[in-house]
Amino acid sequence: MVKLLLIADDFTGALDTGVQFAGQGAQTKIVIGKEAECLQLEREDADVIVVDAETRHLPHDEAYRMVVKLAAKALKEKVPHIFKKTDSALRGNIGMELAALLEVSGENFLPFIPALPAMNRVTRKGIHYIEGVPIAETVFGKDPFEPVTSSDIKDLFRDTKVNVQVIEKKMGYEADSKEPTIGIFDAETAEDIERVAGDLKCLGKLRIIAGCAGVASVLPGLLDLTTGKNEKLHVKKPLLVVCGSLNPISQRQIEYGVKCGFPRYIIDKALQTEDGYFDTKEGQKWISSIKKELCRSPLVMIDTGTSKDKRLEDESVRIKIADIFGMVVKKLVNSDACNTVLVTGGDTLFGLVEQMGCKEINLVGEIRPGTVLSSMRMEQKDIWVLSKSGGFGDEKLLVEVAGELI
In angstroms, rounded to a whole number, what is the distance separating the alpha carbons of residues 204 and 111?
11
* Residue 310: per-residue pLDDT: 55
- pLDDT lower than 50: segments of the chain: none
* Residue 80: per-residue pLDDT: 95
In angstroms, rounded to a whole number, what is the distance separating the alpha carbons of residues 183 and 73?
24
CATH class of 239-404: alpha beta
Give the 3-state DSSP-derived string for the chain, with helices as H, strands as E and coil as C: CCCEEEEECCHHHHHHHHHHHHCCCCCEEEEEHHHHHHCCHHHCCCCEEEEECCCCCCCHHHHHHHHHHHHHHHHHCCCCEEEEECCCCCCCCHHHHHHHHHHHHCCCEEEEECCEHHHCEEEECCEEEECCEEHHHCHHHHCCCCCCCCCEHHHHHCCCCCEEEEECCCCCCCCCCCCCEEEEECECCHHHHHHHHHHHHHCCCCCEEEECHHHHCCHHHHCCCCCCCCCCCCCCCCEEEEECCCCHHHHHHHHHHHHCCCCEEECCHHHHHCCCHHHCHHHHHHHHHHHHHHHHCCEEEEECCCCCCHHHHCHHHHHHHHHHHHHHHHHHHHCCCCCEEEEECHHHHHHHHHHHCEEEEEEEEEEECCEEEEEEEECCEEEEEEEECCCCCCCCHHHHHHHHCC
- Cβ count near 40 (within 10 Å): 8
Closest CA to 342 of 378, 377, 299: 299
In angstroms, rounded to a whole number, what is the distance separating the alpha carbons of residues 282 and 302?
17
In angstroms, rounded to a whole number, what is the distance separating the alpha carbons of residues 71 and 381?
34
The separation between the first and the last C-alpha atoms of the chain, rounded to the nearest angstrom, is: 37
* Residue 369: per-residue pLDDT: 82
On the question of a common fold for 4-222 and 239-404, the answer reads no
Residue ranges per domain, the chain? 4-222, 239-404
Closest CA to 47 of 226, 229, 183: 226
Angle, CA 252 vertex, CA 246 and CA 254 arms, to 5°: 85
Task: With beta carbons less than 8 A apart as the criterion, state whether 22 and 28 touch.
Answer: yes
* Residue 322: per-residue pLDDT: 82
Environment class of 179 (CB within 10 Å of its CB; exposed 0-12, middle 13-18, buried 19+): exposed
In angstroms, rounded to a whole number, what is the distance separating the alpha carbons of residues 403 and 260?
12
CATH (residue range 4-222)? 3.40.50.10840
* Residue 283: per-residue pLDDT: 86
In angstroms, rounded to a whole number, what is the distance separating the alpha carbons of residues 66 and 34?
12
Summarised one tens digit per residue, pLDDT across range 209-265 is 999 999 999 999 999 987 665 555 668 889 999 998 878 899 999 999 999 999 999
Q: List residues bridging with 50 in a β-sheet.
A: 6, 30
In angstroms, rounded to a whole number, what is the distance separating the alpha carbons of residues 252 and 46?
38
Task: With beta carbons less than 8 A apart as the criterion, state whether 28 and 249 touch.
Answer: no
* Residue 305: per-residue pLDDT: 80
* Residue 99: per-residue pLDDT: 98
* Residue 367: per-residue pLDDT: 83
